[in-house]
């Protein structure tokens, strides 16, 4: 193979410098893969059965996923036109950002937040405006409001924030949207909504129910709480006009019949799946508490993961975890995210974490102040 640099194909310069997507490493048999916020429970038998019965894949799927959208519309008490389904909520993020922002336009989001956000803005040709998190690794919504200009076309709010964990409160969100011009799209990314136990957290469905802010679109996914990451299905709730814009930029027929029936079967089994979510949330709370007791500073953890601000030591520490059979998601120079996985992984994480924290100097940001 020749080096890509040797062939005379023109690629947009901002795309040429983008690093290709890097997936959380696959785990070998004895390691726990805690790098992708996946659900550690095996799929429910009823869901597996629905997928294996959906064998007519010589046919294209229903492009509008009407059965699933109807079911979600009933579930949330909204109209069919107020529900959009795509192959993962990342696909909807891309559709919305492309629909709203082009070259010269600005997309605001908190940083550090979900890795896809900078990429989405670049691919749309728009300018990313990153607003640093506050102490406690939380969204700084007043600073995000202050960053709005005439060029702002979309703002992404992630609650709970991936990878750091804290929620945005309902009061913070309400005060924020009141400041956002009504023609600017606000995307509330609630990929981890089902894991939230803090009663003060923003709830996108409640925001939509008020009808006060038709510029807000709420994103949710079947990948995390419902354990369908490999089938690719997520959804958006919001004003039909905004969702129509997303439908216009969508690649048609991306949601497979298998994904649709798995989502429907998951909604049939919602109580059972949410019981598993409660188990994971309890495990998360136990993990976060034990890490703090061991000397780590852990920001509020409301997703299915915890954040350790390991800073310059991140890659070295991630390797120590790796050697102990725990695969984490490191963000070089900043910190690492550890998913809440199998029950047996908890003790293993705590073992290596307790040994690593002792080597960090006093005053290191990952250490709890004594
Ligand atoms: C996982 C995740 C998503 C959605 O992932 P899909 O699998 O594409 O539905 C969206 N936003 C955030 C912040 C996530 O962590």
Distance 134 CA to ligand 1 centre (A): 22
pLDDT at 45 over 90: yes
What gap in Å lies between CA 198 and CA 55, rounded to an integer? 41
- Give the nearest ligand 1 atom to 224 CA: 1
Please tell me whether residues 121 and 218 are part of one structural domain: yes
118: in domain: yes
4: in domain: no
pLDDT at 39 over 90: yes
324: in domain: yes
User: What is the model's pTM?
Assistant: 0.96
pLDDT for the residue 69: 98
Q: Which residue has the higher pLDDT, 207 or 7?
A: 207
- Of the listed ranges 24-38, 145-159, 222-236, 264-278, the least confidently predicted one is 24-38
Please tell me whether residues 248 and 191 are part of one structural domain: yes
Assign residue 314 the CATH number of its domain.
3.90.1150.10
Distance 36 CA to ligand 1 centre (A): 10
Q: Which of 268, 299, 332 is the last residue of a domain?
A: 268
pLDDT for the residue 3: 62
Cα–Cα distances (Å) from 74 to 77, 79, 82, 267, 293, in that order, read: 5, 8, 11, 11, 44
pLDDT band for 369, please (50, 70, 90 cuts). confident
What gap in Å lies between CA 328 and CA 318, rounded to an integer? 6
Please tell me whether residues 264 and 275 are part of one structural domain: no
Distance 190 CA to ligand 1 centre (A): 8
pLDDT band for 132, please (50, 70, 90 cuts). very high
Please tell me whether residues 29 and 78 are part of one structural domain: no
Distance 363 CA to ligand 1 centre (A): 33
Please tell me whether residues 182 and 322 are part of one structural domain: no
Please tell me whether residues 298 and 167 are part of one structural domain: no
Task: Count the residues in the chain.
Answer: 370
Q: Which of 239, 268, 297 is the last residue of a domain?
A: 268
What gap in Å lies between CA 319 and CA 186, rounded to an integer? 38
What angle is formed at CA 254 by the lines to CA 82 and CA 239, rounded to 5 degrees?
A: 15
Distance 361 CA to ligand 1 centre (A): 34
152: in domain: yes
Distance 89 CA to ligand 1 centre (A): 6
Decide if 264 contacts 226 (C-beta within 8 A): no
Mean of all residue pLDDT scores within the chain: 96
Of 97, 159, 158, nearest to 128 by C-alpha is 97
- Which protein residue's CA is at the shortest distance from atom 1 of ligand 1? 191
180: in domain: yes
Distance 127 CA to ligand 1 centre (A): 21
Pocket of ligand 1 (CB under 6 A): 37, 88-90, 114, 158, 162, 189, 191, 221, 223-224, 229, 234
312: in domain: yes
Please tell me whether residues 291 and 253 are part of one structural domain: no
pLDDT at 26 over 80: no
Please tell me whether residues 35 and 79 are part of one structural domain: no
Using most ligand atoms within 8 A of CB, pick from 158, 165, 221, 225 the residue to mutate for ligand 1: 221
Please tell me whether residues 174 and 300 are part of one structural domain: no
Using most ligand atoms within 8 A of CB, pick from 188, 196, 223 the residue to mutate for ligand 1: 223
pLDDT band for 347, please (50, 70, 90 cuts). very high
pLDDT for the residue 2: 54
Mean pLDDT for 83-87 is: 98
pLDDT for the residue 4: 58
Of 154, 169, 218, nearest to 191 by C-alpha is 218
Per the structure, the complete domain to which residue 130 belongs is given by: 46-268
Decide if 83 contacts 235 (C-beta within 8 A): yes
Cα–Cα distances (Å) from 304 to 110, 148, 246, 286, 367, in that order, read: 20, 31, 28, 12, 21
Q: Read off φ and ψ for residue 111, nearest 5 degrees.
A: -145, 130
Q: Which of 268, 293, 328 is the last residue of a domain?
A: 268
- Which protein residue's CA is at the shortest distance from atom 6 of ligand 1? 88
3: in domain: no
Please tell me whether residues 130 and 275 are part of one structural domain: no
Please tell me whether residues 180 and 56 are part of one structural domain: yes
pLDDT at 1 over 90: no
Please tell me whether residues 299 and 278 are part of one structural domain: yes
pLDDT for the residue 22: 76
Decide if 242 contacts 185 (C-beta within 8 A): yes
88: in domain: yes
pLDDT at 5 over 80: no
Note the pLDDT tens digit of each residue in 162-186. Answer: 999 999 999 999 999 999 999 999 9
- Give the nearest ligand 1 atom to 303 CA: 15
Number of domains composing the chain: 2
Assign residue 88 the CATH number of its domain.
3.40.640.10
């Amino acid at each position: 193979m020749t080096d890509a640099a040797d062939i005379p194909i023109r690629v947009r310069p901002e795309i040429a410098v983008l690093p290709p997507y890097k997936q959380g490493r696959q785990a070998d048999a004895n390691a726990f893969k805690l790098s992708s916020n996946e659900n550690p429970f095996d799929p429910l038998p009823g869901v597996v059965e629905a997928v294996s019965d959906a064998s007519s894949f010589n046919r294209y799927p229903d492009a509008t996923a009407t059965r699933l959208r109807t079911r979600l519309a009933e579930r949330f008490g909204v109209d069919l036109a107020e529900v959009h389904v795509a192959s993962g909520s990342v696909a909807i993020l891309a559709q919305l950002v492309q629909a709203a922002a082009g070259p010269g336009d600005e997309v605001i989001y908190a940083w550090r937040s979900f890795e896809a956000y900078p990429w989405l803005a670049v691919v749309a040709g728009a300018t990313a405006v990153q607003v640093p998190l506050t102490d406690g690794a939380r969204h700084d919504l007043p600073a995000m409001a202050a960053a709005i200009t005439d060029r702002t076309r979309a703002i992404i709010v992630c609650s709970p924030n991936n990878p750091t964990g804290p929620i945005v409160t309902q009061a913070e969100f309400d005060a924020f949207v009141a400041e956002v011009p009504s023609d600017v799209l606000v995307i509330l990314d609630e990929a981890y909504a089902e894991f939230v136990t803090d009663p003060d957290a923003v709830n996108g469905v409640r925001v939509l129910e008020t009808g006060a802010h038709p510029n807000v679109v709420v994103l949710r996914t079947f990948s995390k709480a419902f354990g369908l990451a490999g089938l690719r299905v997520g959804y958006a709730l919001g004003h039909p006009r905004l969702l129509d814009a997303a439908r216009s930029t969508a690649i048609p027929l991306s949601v497979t019949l298998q994904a649709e029936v798995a989502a429907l079967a998951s909604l049939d089994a919602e109580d059972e799946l949410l019981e598993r979510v409660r188990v994971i949330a309890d495990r998360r709370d136990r993990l976060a508490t034990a890490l703090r007791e061991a000397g780590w500073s852990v920001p509020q953890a409301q997703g299915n993961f915890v954040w350790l601000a390991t800073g310059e030591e991140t890659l070295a520490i991630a390797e120590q975890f790796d050697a102990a059979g725990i695969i984490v998601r490191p963000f070089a120079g900043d910190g690492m995210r550890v998913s809440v996985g199998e029950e047996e992984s908890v003790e293993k994480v705590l073992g290596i974490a307790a040994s690593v924290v002792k080597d960090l100097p006093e005053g290191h940001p990952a250490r709890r102040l004594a």
